[in-house]
Amino acid sequence: MTTPSKPRIVKDYEKLEPSIIEQIKLEYPYGFYQHLVSYVDREGKKRMALPFETEEKYYLVRMSIQEAKDIIEEDDDYDDDGTLKEDILQDYAEKYDDDIDEDEEEED
Cα–Cα distance, 7 to 65 (Å, whole number): 25
Confirm whether pTM is higher than 0.85: no
Reported as a single tens digit per residue, the pLDDT across 1-39 is 444 689 999 999 999 999 999 999 999 999 999 999 999
Q: How many residues does the chain have?
A: 108
Reported as a single tens digit per residue, the pLDDT across 61-88 is 999 999 999 999 999 999 999 999 999 9
Predicted pLDDT at 83 = 96
